[in-house]
Amino acid sequence: MAKHKAGAKLSVFKGREAKLNRAIFQTLALKGAKTIYDIHKHLRTFRGLKYTYYGNVNRRVRALRQQGYVKEVSIKSTKAGFEATEYELTTRTYLVLLLDSINLEDALNRMDEDVASEILAAIATLT
Residue 96 sits in which domain range? 12-102
- Is 126 within a domain? no
Q: What is the mean pLDDT of residues 97-126?
A: 87
CATH number for the domain including 81? 1.10.10.10
Is-contact 104 7, C-beta < 8 A?
yes
pLDDT of residue 1: 37
Indicate whether 8 pLDDT > 80.
Answer: no
Is-contact 54 43, C-beta < 8 A?
no
- Is 85 within a domain? yes
What pLDDT digit, counting tens, does each position of 11-35 carry? 888 888 999 999 999 999 999 999 9
- Is 121 within a domain? no
- Is 52 within a domain? yes
Q: How far apart are CA 123 and CA 127, in angstroms?
A: 7
Q: Among candidates 64, 22, 58, 18, which has minimal Cα distance to 41?
A: 58
What pLDDT digit, counting tens, does each position of 45-96 carry? 999 999 999 999 999 999 999 999 999 999 988 888 889 999 999 999 998 9
What pLDDT digit, counting tens, does each position of 55-65 carry? 999 999 999 99
Write down the pTM of the prediction: 0.81
- Is 113 within a domain? no
- Is 2 within a domain? no
- Is 109 within a domain? no
Q: Among candidates 105, 90, 89, 91, which has minimal Cα distance to 8?
A: 105
Return the percentage of the chain with pLDDT > 70, whole number. Answer: 94
Q: How many domains does the chain have?
A: 1
pLDDT of residue 56: 95
Indicate whether 126 pLDDT > 50.
Answer: yes
